[in-house]
Structure formats: C-alpha cells, structure tokens
A and B are shown apart, each in its own frame.
Chain A
Amino acid sequence: AQSVTQLDSQVPVFEEAPVELRCNYSSSVSVYLFWYVQYPNQGLQLLLKYLSGSTLVKGINGFEAEFNKSQTSFHLRKPSVHISDTAEYFCAVSGGTSYGKLTFGQGTILTVHP
C-alpha cells in the first residue's frame, strides 16, 4: 500500500520569503508524484509532477520540487512567495497497482503574510 505524509499542517511565511513544504511517501514500487494546490472553495490544480527522468521538477507559478528516492521525499519549494500563494497544498502519489488512483497527504496550509 502507498501512503503520503505531509510533515507540516500549517506553514506561515512572510511575502517574498522562500518556502519549503515537505512531503514523504511510502511505497514498495516505483511511484509517480504530484503536487496540487487548492484555493478556498475550489477544486485542485496541478502544480507539478514527477514521472521519471530529472529529479528536479519545475511547475507553474514558480514552484519546483525535488524527488529524492533514497529519502523517499518530494519537497515543494518556491524561492519567493506572494500573497496569492496562500492556499492549501497537497502531495499525492500513484503507481504500482493503483491504476491511476491518487493517494493524497493530509495537506499543508500555506499562509503568506504581508
């Protein structure tokens, strides 16, 4: 079975500061990893995904994530955040016998203060 742990439930940060949202996964097979963002009362939007190849993945809105197989991590980073980045962020994994099913972490609420 696969599982995802997002290590921080809430991350407060000031505008223009860097941020890292942490995600660890557990799986006995090769996985595909995703980060989604959810703004209040909206659906989820894909930020970025790791399928294979380069371990550094760049996504939309200036976000990037690094796949670390030895540490089973897929942390999300942004060098300088904006007020508009305030949202909930979900790490997700699929692969193996899940046939497309996404397993999500509990979510991290990022709050950017002016």
Chain B
Amino acid sequence: NAGVMQNPRHLVRRRGQEARLRCSPMKGHSHVYWYRQLPEEGLKFMVYLQKENIIDESGMPKERFSAEFPKEGPSILRIQQVVRGDSAAYFCASSEGQDPYEQYFGPGTRLTVT
C-alpha cells in the first residue's frame, strides 16, 4: 500500500510565477490536509479537504492561495504570483476519516522562490 505521494519534491519558481503542488492520498483515504513549514517555524495548518469539498480553510492566506481535491485525481495546492516569503516546505497528509484518525504525511514539496 503506497503511502502519501507528493510531487514535485522540489520546485523552484521565480517571483510572480505560479506554483502547483500535488498530493495523492493513501489508498482508501478521502480526507486530505495541507500544512506549511516555514524556516524557523513549526508546521502550520492550511486547509482540510474532502473529495470536492473544502471543510476548513482557516489557515489559508486570503490571497493567492487555493486548494482543491477533485472527484478524480490528486489534491492540488496552487499558489499564484509567488513571493519569496512563500518559500517553505509544504506537506500533505491524508486520513481515512475525520478527527481523531491518524494522519499520514507525505515527504513534502520544498518550494524555493528566487
């Protein structure tokens, strides 16, 4: 049973470009979470999605960031017009059900904005 998959593992974007981060949850998991790890900070929750629904986006920046989890295919975290402050590690996690089920984390995508 493959774990949570994220791609790309490393992504370099210039300021103003768009970044698309992909997350495939574990087989049988229908809940996906995105977290961001900024340098010198802990992991911060961004968004919680189920298939075709955003359940909680309280941690998402108000502008430039969006997330989706379509009926078919991976979950996508999209960052428009990236800035240097977006440089971070972005982790996706999935779970079989809702809290307090164990969340399984992917290896992360490390975004560098130049």
Count contacts on B: residues with CB < 8 A to the other chain: 29
Q: Assuming the A-B contacts A43-B91, A44-B91, are A99 and B98 also in contact, with contact meaning beta carbons closer than 8 angstroms in the complex? A: yes
**Within 8 Å of chain B (Cβ to Cβ): is A51?**
yes
**Within 8 Å of chain A (Cβ to Cβ): is B103?**
yes
Q: Assuming the A-B contacts A51-B100, A99-B98, are A44 and B55 also in contact, with contact meaning beta carbons closer than 8 angstroms in the complex? A: no
**Contact in complex: B42, A90 (CB < 8 Å):** yes
User: How many angstroms from the CA of A45 to the CA of B3 in the assembled complex?
Assistant: 11
Q: Choose among B45, B48, B98, B102 the residue with the greatest number of A CB atoms under 10 Å from its CB.
A: B45
Other-chain residue from A90, A102, A107 in contact with B45 (beta carbon distance below 8 A): A102
**Within 8 Å of chain B (Cβ to Cβ): is A103?**
yes
**Contact in complex: B43, A99 (CB < 8 Å):** no
Chain A residues with CB under 8 Å of B22's CB are none
Residues of A participating in the B interface, judged by any CB pair closer than 8 Å: 32, 34, 36, 41-46, 49, 51, 90, 94-95, 98-107
24 contacts between A and B (CB under 8 A): A36-B105, A43-B107, A44-B43, A44-B93, A44-B105, A46-B104, A90-B43, A95-B99, A98-B99, A99-B55, A99-B56, A99-B98, A99-B99, A100-B55, A100-B98, A100-B100, A100-B103, A101-B48, A101-B58, A102-B35, A102-B103, A104-B43, A106-B41, A107-B42
